[in-house]
Amino acid sequence: MSASGLKTGQPPVKRAGAGTFKLTWQLLLIGIGALVVLLSITRFFTGADDLTSAGAINAAVALAVPIGLAGLGGLWSERAGVVNIGLEGMMILGTWAGAWGSIQFDNPWAGVLAGAIGGLVGGLLHAVATVSFGVDHIISGVAINILGLGITQFLSKVTFAEMAGGGDTQSPPVPKPGLVSVPGIGEPLADLEARHWFLLSDLAGILRGLLTNVSLFTILAIALVPLTFYVLWRTAFGLRLRSCGERPVAAESLGVNVYTYKYAAVVISGALAGLGGAFLSLVAASAYREGQTAGRGFIGLAAMIFGNWRPGGLAGGAMLFGYTDALQLRRGGESVHALLLLVAILIAAVAVYQLVQQQRTQAAVITGAAAVIVFAIFALTDSVPEQFTSVTPHITTLLVLSLAAQRLRMPAADGLPYRKGQAK
């Protein structure tokens, strides 16, 4: 199925822009393994047990999912060439619709569906404005953010305010999707974790966090990442959709109905953002609450850019943000302080790499100095002040982004206006 489709759109102007570096499964596994060892070393020497505790990992996943879903939404839309800054508004629609559906039909999965539909409506509006009418993508997106907030405020006034336990700005508690655990591993892993052995306890903590008390909605959300990859990169539909984001004129000349594909992409984008919103009201909290998205739509967009417009990278970005956020919320001073050591080790490794592999002595000296400074801050303080811990996720993301920015490549026609028949 995919082979025949791939033929029709063979040369979609793909530059080898991302460099010669190719991420394989082996490299990925080695990378993750190295990260766990590094975390384990850090935990062992600092005693910040929360770095790899089951609670922190579990919370990290729960905080990463809404960001990841919003990012996936952004990915779908931008791969088809439509910038979607309205993700936040679509998420807000999803929070309300998710809670409402769940309460109205007394079934959390009805809420999940309703949340997707809520976001989808926002996406449809964005598609009508940007694809049919050629409105500037940013303007339409901003309007949807304002509109999403306004509509949900109005809707919660006419729905939740009437219900027992609800109010103008919040819904009554909602029925939640169930939690699942891999049976029989919770107790032994918890025992192992409590012993604080090097590496073994860390692995136990991480596994327990990932495999016990996981919401079914979380599993659904995680499954959407490989699904997105499959649909966009392994099917004819996906190839055509991406061609609309790279060079719509060329796609059109090959008989692709660009408008249809853009519509499909933006509508799916809205539905995914809506799912992210529904996750917030159904799983992360257990009620709709005005303003509960708190900018997560924008962070999702950042996670997508962080992931170089790829599902895997995006999931990594969301997870990094979720993890650091979980650490700072749970035991900020202690855990973030321990992270400083980790950062110092990482920067030192980069310095060694620059010196040995790239023979850039000057750069290596600067990087090495940075490592020493971070280590000095770590060594001279006991904990990190509250004012700094709360921005840890943002700073981490910013740092990684600034290091990776040279390698990023957005879809070539992303954000550009496209009119049917504009090719000369």
Partner 1 sequence: MLQNRFGRLAATALAGSMLMGAAACGGGEEPATSASPTGGATSAAPAGGTTKVGLAYDIGGRGDQSFNDAAAAGLDKAKTELGLAETKELEAGSGETEAAKEERLRLLAQGGFNPIIAVGFAYSGPMKKVATEFPEVKFAIVDDEAAAGPNISNLVFAEHEGSFLVGAAAALKSKKNHVGFVGGVEVPLIKKFEAGFVAGAKAVKSDIKVDVKYLTQPPDFAGFNDPAKGKTAAEGMFDAGADVVYHAAGGSGGGVFEAAKAAQGWGIGVDSDQAKTAAEGVRDVILTSMIKKVDVAVFDFLKSASTGAPKAGTTVYDLKAGGVDYSTTGGHVDDIKTQLDEYKQKVISGEISVPKEVS
Positions in the binding site for partner 1 (CB under 8 A): 50, 53, 55-56, 59, 62-63, 125, 128-129, 132-135, 139-140, 143-144, 146-147, 149-151, 153-154, 157, 161, 165-170, 172-173, 280, 284-287, 289-292, 294-295, 325-326, 329-332, 386-387, 390-391, 419
3-class secondary-structure state, position 180: strand
Chain Cα centroid distance, residue 38: 23
CB of residue 286 to partner 1, shortest distance in Å: 6
CA distance linking residue 57 with residue 326, whole number of Å: 8
CA distance 263 to 274: 16
Give min distance, CB of 283 to partner 1, in A.
Answer: 9
Rounded least distance, CB 164 to partner 1, Å: 9
Beta-sheet strands, E only, within 189-265: 214-215
SS3 call for 135: coil
In the bound state with partner 1, the residue whose beta carbon lies nearer, of 37 and 249, is 249
Question: Angle, nearest 10°, between helix axes 311-356 and 54-79?
Answer: 110
CB closer to partner 1, 97 vs 364: 97
CB of 415 vs partner 1, minimal distance in Å: 16
Burial (CB < 10 A; 0-12, 13-18, 19+), residue 5, is middle
Strand partners, 180: 214
Cβ closest to partner 1, residue 214 vs residue 351? 214
* Under 8 Å between Cβ of 49 and 109: no
Least separation in angstroms between residue 284's CB and partner 1 is 4
Q: In the complex with partner 1, which residue's Cβ is closer, 239 or 266?
A: 266
Minimum distance between the CB of residue 120 and partner 1, rounded to whole angstroms? 17
Token pair for 369 = 């100095």
Helices (H), 307-360: 311-356
Q: In the complex with partner 1, which residue's Cβ is closer, 204 or 241?
A: 204
d(CA 99, CA 274): 11
Q: Are 347 and 371 in contact (CB under 8 A)?
A: yes
Nearer to partner 1, 166 or 317 (CB): 166
Q: How far is the CB of 50 from partner 1 (least distance, A)?
A: 7
Report the residue number, 5 or 167, with the smaller CB distance to partner 1.
Answer: 167
Q: How far is residue 204's CA from residue 183's CA, in Å, rounded to a whole number? A: 15
